[in-house]
Chain A
Amino acid sequence: MAAAKTRTSTFSRNLSTAAPSHGPGLKCGPNGTVFLSSGIPDLDKILGGGFPLGSLVMVMEDAEAPHHMLLLRNFMAQGLVLGQHLLYSSPARDPRGFLGTLPSPAASKDDKSRERDPDQEKGLRIAWQYKKYFGENQLDGQRDGKHEYSNEFDLRKPLERHFINGPRIDCVSIQDCPDLSTLRDRCATFLSQFPRNDGSISCAGRIAIQSFCAPQRAYSNMEWDMLSFIRSLKSMVRSSNSVAIITFPPSLLSPSFCKRWQHMADTLLSVKAIQDEDKELAQLLTGYQDMVGFLNVHKVARINTQVY
């Protein structure tokens, strides 16, 4: 952002005209940030627009439930549906298999009323505690053009084949990898397609790293190697037009390193399962029987700003 010419005063005329128009799935935000959707419109709202480009999102998994996969599925499907590129890494031997479980966008609701008909609850929704206090008008206002940025997804319907078989997806398995240099190099190659410059952004990239942890590879400096991988990924992502999401099981890390990872994240989320038949919670929360878990937002990205 720094200009080359010298200035004599601290005032400088802002010469950029209107905000440059960006490709699909991107939205301008404050402080020069550009957002892309998490794939869950309610989460986008809670986060203030979505995930800012150049940020690192970390999700703390719950050892007892695979709810982080829901977040990943929505995130990945959203990118594919809008023509963004995707790099997916997982500890599985064949990560491509996971792509078959990605959801398809839900059929758009044409009627304006937002009755909470249980049959309509196909996708993953955030049951925001105070949602019932907001009027319907507020939520309807953003219908038009919304599908160019974010979609509701139907978890029961798989994503169409042509999205998954395109050239825009790359998969990496970290099983049997002696160190993280392969993954680091693949990320670097992937991110070099979306360099950050001041012009309009034609295409954005998404990196999804699932269950990043290595309990079986216990050589002494592994923890520091993983941390330096995250740090270098973060700095690569920062200078590109992409968002990286890493999910990890905090229980497999020492408390001190867990805190280090949490500090690395620009946006920090955690998922936790809700016990079945918890009478106290049932009294506390409306719609308890439809809920599968808690999503906690611990930290929201503050790029170019010191406030939320």
Chain B
Amino acid sequence: MNQRSSNLLDEALGLDQVIEPWPLRGQVVAIEDQVETSGSFVLHHLLKRSLSPNSSNVTIFIAFSQPFSHYDRILRKLGCNLVSQRDNSRFFFFDMLKLQCPDEGITPEGGLIALYGKIHKTISALPEISWKNVSIIIDDLSLMEVAANGSSDYVLDFLHYCRTLTSEFDCSLITLNHEDIYSSEDRPTFFIQMEYLADILIKAEPLATGLATDVHGQLTVSNKGRNKVSNFHFKVKENVVECFYPGRS
């Protein structure tokens, strides 16, 4: 990719400048969305950026939501071939669609510990120079809770363990969760903890005025490290996400 059109999202995340070393290293990025406005396009965009040919980044993708074929098709349109990245050991796909604890003697705690072990093993097996450039992407956290049969404490423990990876190996952790599930809860401990853990918070919300053809929603990026909050509108297309300030589509 010679002329990469960086957009407002890249700017807000610090991805518009150099991407080697990976600007999000050592950081926890939490993406939040709602039923009306899905935030998975942010995940796809970050996945594409992390697998850019200009970087040597390695991505571990933990999928609770969709099978590999789904992401493969989407990323292909975005200009990234997941199959060849997987063959070149730059992309590791952990298919967790069928994981269900308790099941066959695996407790929720046990299942998540096993998953963490697998991630740790995969990273340790990489050459040491790659350690700084690992991204762990989880899609999505609410389904991890379902897989753990509601034991949110174990899921939170798992996330804390993953956070230690960000300090031990300097990798980045990118998660997707659904804010509207927790906003109707009495004690949204899990969600608040996640927001607290996050260094960068990306919220995808619908427009206050409702549906529109030209604008699919608004993104609010809160970057605690840079002490910066950005807000802009977006439109999701097949091969790109267009971001623009309100009023300029």
Residues of A within 8 A of B (CB): 1-3, 6-7, 10, 12, 31-32, 221, 223-225, 227-228, 231-232, 235, 238-239, 254-256, 258-260, 262-263, 268, 298-299, 302-307
Q: Do the beta carbons of A259 and B73 come within 8 Å of each other?
A: no
Q: Do the beta carbons of A256 and B184 come within 8 Å of each other?
A: yes
- Write the nearest CB–CB distance from A296 to chain B, whole angstroms: 11
- Write the nearest CB–CB distance from A117 to chain B, whole angstroms: 33
Could you say which of B74, B100, B150, B181 contacts A221, with CB atoms under 8 Å apart?
B150
Complex CA gap A306/B239 in Å reads 9
Residues of B within 8 A of A (CB): 35-36, 38, 40-41, 44, 66-70, 72-74, 77, 80-81, 83-84, 86-87, 97-98, 100, 142-143, 146-147, 149-150, 178, 180-182, 184-185, 236-238
Query: A residues within 8 A CB of B185?
Result: 255-256
Query: A residues within 8 A CB of B149?
Result: 221, 224-225, 228
Q: Do the beta carbons of A228 and B100 come within 8 Å of each other?
A: yes
Could you say which of B181, B182, B237 contacts A307, with CB atoms under 8 Å apart?
B237
Q: Do the beta carbons of B36 and A298 come within 8 Å of each other?
A: yes
- Write the nearest CB–CB distance from B26 to chain A, whole angstroms: 28
Query: A residues within 8 A CB of B98?
Result: 232, 235
Q: Do the beta carbons of B146 and A304 come within 8 Å of each other?
A: no
Q: Do the beta carbons of A7 and B67 come within 8 Å of each other?
A: no
Q: Do the beta carbons of B67 and A305 come within 8 Å of each other?
A: no
Query: B residues within 8 A CB of A259?
Result: 35, 178, 180-181, 184
Could you say which of B73, B83, B184 contacts A305, with CB atoms under 8 Å apart?
B73
Query: A residues within 8 A CB of B77?
Result: 305
Q: Do the beta carbons of A2 and B236 come within 8 Å of each other?
A: no
Which of A10, A32, A263, A299 counts the most chain B CB atoms within 10 A? A263
Q: Do the beta carbons of B35 and A298 come within 8 Å of each other?
A: yes
Complex CA gap A262/B33 in Å reads 13
- Write the nearest CB–CB distance from B233 to chain A, whole angstroms: 16
Q: Do the beta carbons of B97 and A32 come within 8 Å of each other?
A: no
- Write the nearest CB–CB distance from B75 to chain A, whole angstroms: 10
Q: Do the beta carbons of A2 and B83 come within 8 Å of each other?
A: yes
- Write the nearest CB–CB distance from B212 to chain A, whole angstroms: 13
Given contacts A224-B149, A228-B100, A306-B41, contact A260 B181 (CB under 8 A): yes
CB-nearest residue of chain A to B71 = A304
Q: Do the beta carbons of B69 and A1 come within 8 Å of each other?
A: yes
Q: Do the beta carbons of A227 and B72 come within 8 Å of each other?
A: no
Given contacts A6-B87, A263-B178, contact A304 B238 (CB under 8 A): no
Closest 7 CB pairs of A and B: A255-B184, A224-B150, A304-B73, A10-B81, A259-B181, A235-B97, A1-B69
Query: B residues within 8 A CB of A260?
Result: 142, 146, 178, 181
Query: B residues within 8 A CB of A258?
Result: 184
Query: B residues within 8 A CB of A255?
Result: 184-185
Given contacts A7-B83, A306-B44, contact A2 B68 (CB under 8 A): yes
Query: B residues within 8 A CB of A6?
Result: 84, 87
- Write the nearest CB–CB distance from B134 to chain A, whole angstroms: 22
CB-nearest residue of chain A to B83 = A2
Query: B residues within 8 A CB of A228?
Result: 100, 146-147, 149
- Write the nearest CB–CB distance from A14 to chain B, whole angstroms: 11
Complex CA gap A6/B142 in Å reads 35
Q: Do the beta carbons of A304 and B74 come within 8 Å of each other?
A: yes
CB-nearest residue of chain B to A33 = B73
Q: Do the beta carbons of B35 and A10 come within 8 Å of each other?
A: no
Known A-B contacts: A6-B84, A7-B81, A305-B238. Give 5 more (CB < 8 A): A254-B184, A255-B185, A260-B146, A303-B70, A304-B70
Q: Do the beta carbons of A3 and B83 come within 8 Å of each other?
A: yes
Complex CA gap A300/B73 in Å reads 18
Residue pairs across A and B with Cβ atoms less than 8 A apart, 6 shown, are A224-B146, A256-B185, A260-B178, A263-B142, A263-B181, A306-B44
